[in-house]
Chains A and B, each alone.
Chain A
Amino acid sequence: QVQLVQSGAEVKKPGASVKVSCKASGYTFTSYYMHWVRQAPGQGLEWMGIINPSGGSTSYAQKFQGRVTMTRDTSTSTVYMELSSLRSEDTAVYYCARDLVPAAKGQDYWGQGTLVTVSS
């Protein structure tokens, strides 16, 4: 069965970086794009970017350009999202979600979420 398993909760200080992982199983890793979406406490969903695990190409939301980097490791079927220069407003649950983009099927499987807390 399809599973997206994310790394555990993180506590970071302002100015630091965080790297969240998302390990995929149960499907062909390189056949599905991966989105990263975050949700601040009590707020809505916010799209951060997308990576194509096949070639590694990425597209980031303008808001995060220069601060976010998405990478993948095809040998372990894992994608990573690194966010730098953290500030308190980055405190949120971060989700990965797969998407068969060319077929426009939407994000049909989501990770369990990773809480990142930024606090001095």
Chain B
Amino acid sequence: SYELTQPPSVSVSPGQTARITCSGDALPKQYAYWYQQKPGQAPVLVIYKDSERPSGIPERFSGSSSGTTVTLTISGVQAEDEADYYCQSADSSGTSWVFGGGTKLTVL
């Protein structure tokens, strides 16, 4: 079955830039989405269509795509950004979706 691969953890100091990658064979053909999840809460969409930001999401969140890897970038990280981040996409057929394993962002 199709898989998306993320690093388990990323650590940055406040004000620095955090980059979280997600790799998958179908990413050149399928859009990627990014979700932020804080403990005890439902996930929140922070990026859709690889690089679009929903209304209400701070400008410091951005997304990019290159080949089989997509990247979530958080510029000027704040303490409130500490959370788990998940990428999501569809397989090459577009009928089955999958999440990456998640990346825990720690703000030092």
Contacts and interface: CB of A to CB of B under 8 A. Distances in A.
Interface string A99-120: 0000011111011110000000
Interface of B (DSSP majority class): strand
B48 A110 contact: no
Contacts of A37: 43, 99
B99 A46 contact: yes
A47 B98 contact: yes
Interface string B92-108: 00011111111000000
B105 to A, nearest CB: 14
Interface in A56-89: 59, 61-63
Interface residues of B, number: 24
Contacts of A59: 95-96
Interface in B36-56: 37, 42-45, 47-49, 54
B102 A107 contact: no
Interface of B: 1, 31, 33, 35, 37, 42-45, 47-49, 54, 84, 86, 88, 95-102
